[in-house]
Amino acid sequence: MLNGEKLLACMETFAVGKKELQEIAAAFRYDMECALQGKEFSSLRLFPSFLPLPTGKEQGKYAALDFGGTSIKASLLELDGKGGCQVKKSCSRLLHDGEGYDYSGGETTAEELFDFLAAIIAELLEGNQQEQVLLGHTFSYAVEQKDCTDGRLLRWAKEIAVKGVEGELVNELLTKALRRAGYENVKPCVILNDTVAALLAAAYGQPETKIASIYATGFNICCFEPQPGEQPPQIINLEAGNFLKLAPNKYDNLVDEHSEQPGRQRLEKMVSGRYLGELYLEALTDILGFRPKRKISSEDLAAIIETGGQEILAAAAGQNLTAEEYDGLQKLAAAVVRRSARLVAASYAGVLWHLGGKGKVQPQNIAIDGSVYEKMPLIEVNLQMALKEILGEEAEGITLSLVKGGSAAGAAIAAAMTRAE
Ligand code: BGC
């Protein structure tokens, strides 16, 4: 049933060689440095967080709201002032449950979305409208800020299309919703990107960490960066998913065309969990010669790589396939995932080259939070291999470490930092 030659040609379009990786890393560094100097022709636009690294001594009880993926989570946390953070309680809800409700689409208003967020916080606080609560808000989209207390949403990503939020102050919308729900006592005192939260969470216990990344539904990187003149260094959100000096194949272009924001987040659409299954589906459509009825998620992709995913593939093809065909489609899944890791490694290398300046790449720990990094097979090993191809022996000093729950911990640490200021 499958055309073997077509399958091979399709897989070939997901290959990224060593030379191309090095060129992408160099282009990423170039765009990052242009953006830092305020030059307009960079594909990256950087977003200052107005937050330095934590001292590790921040302490106290805080609330955190994590809004950025498919699940929204509110938590109560306690920081011990010695690099330790304990989650006391948390409540989470899906942004859309697949059947009943959906707070992600263009029919939802800003008020409806923020009332939904306030209701999750209300559930967390169990009706306590007396005790003063400082809340850190990890909001994982491109936000323009003048200080760390609030920021305007520049644009949605990850297929969110709620009207009336772009251009607005996000913590102000949240505060109004909390007031409508009767929670005068909750103060959203800081807003931060999830990459920034991951870096704060990692650096709280490991102060030498200067780079963090989210590799999940979305993709992004932040780093701790010296500032010109007398200004103190601060963490900068690179919005790395918007990088576009890449060579997309025809499947990437189809995924982009069908997305909410064509032309934007081109790197993210080639690497992150929100899109990997769709990319595979576009490739499968081409090979089969018709569009499968069954959608493919990134979890399906993981299953195909790990176990062969014969049920998933038979449902997509509408019939059982031969062992050879299943094998070919498993290799295709691996090729999509391998490319994701290699492109991500190239963007990490661009940041490492930037931090190394004119000298060698310095030993660094990159703190990574996210389901693709944590759970997708083949990612870790391909990240390591690609870093070695790009950086040679300088890759030896680079460690990758998993931060779990960084969005909530980072929000609490940021809330504590604003209190200390
Ligand atoms: C957003 C980033 C975020 C990343 C990971 C992207 O779509 O633009 O702000 O850090 O997803 O959640």
For 213-224, how does the pLDDT look when each residue is reduced to its tens digit (9 = 90+)? 999 999 999 999
Q: Which of 268, 371, 372, 374 to mutate to test the pocket of ligand 1 (most atoms within 8 A of CB)?
A: 268
Average pLDDT (12-29) is: 98
Residue-wise pLDDT tens digits, 192-248: 999 999 999 999 999 899 999 999 999 999 999 988 788 899 999 999 999 999 999
Report the side by side order of strands in the sheet with 364-369: 47-48, 234-237, 219-225, 211-215, 364-369, 398-402
Report the DSSP beta bridge partners of residue 73: 66, 92
- The residue whose CA is least distant from atom 6 of ligand 1 is 218
Residue 76 has pLDDT above 60, yes or no: yes
> What percent of the chain shows pLDDT beyond 90?
93
Instruction: Tokens 């808000």: give the residue.
Output: 137
Provide the pLDDT for residue 1. Answer: 73
Structure confidence by residue, pLDDT tens digits, 275-288? 999 999 999 999 99
Q: Between these two residues, 41 and 80, which has the higher pLDDT value? A: 80
Output the pLDDT for position 98. 82
Asked if pLDDT for residue 337 goes beyond 60, the answer is: yes
What is the average pLDDT across 141-167? 96
Split at pLDDT 50, 70, 90, the class of 123 is very high
Q: What is the mean pLDDT of residues 353-367?
A: 96
pTM comes to 0.96
Whose Cα sits closest to atom 1 in ligand 1? 141
Instruction: Give the number of the atom of ligand 1 that is nearest the alpha carbon of residue 69.
Output: 12
Question: What is the H or E stretch that residue 144 is in?
Answer: strand 142-145
> Coil, strand or helix: which one is 116?
helix
Compute the mean pLDDT over every residue in the chain, rounded to the nearest whole number: 96
pLDDT confidence of residue 201 = 98
DSSP 96: B
pLDDT for position 382: 98
Per DSSP bridges, beta strands 364-369 and 211-215 are parallel
**Pocket test residue of 71, 145, 193, 269 for ligand 1, highest count of atoms within 8 A of CB:** 193
Separation of 238 CA from ligand 1 center, angstroms?
A: 10
From CA 351, how far away is CA 331, in angstroms rounded?
A: 31
Assess whether the C-beta atom of 158 lies below 6 angstroms from ligand 1. Answer: yes
Mean pLDDT, to the nearest integer, of 294-315? 97
Binned at pLDDT 50, 70 and 90, residue 420 comes out as: low
On whether the CB atoms of residues 299 and 307 are closer than 8 A, the answer is: no
pLDDT of residue 87: 97
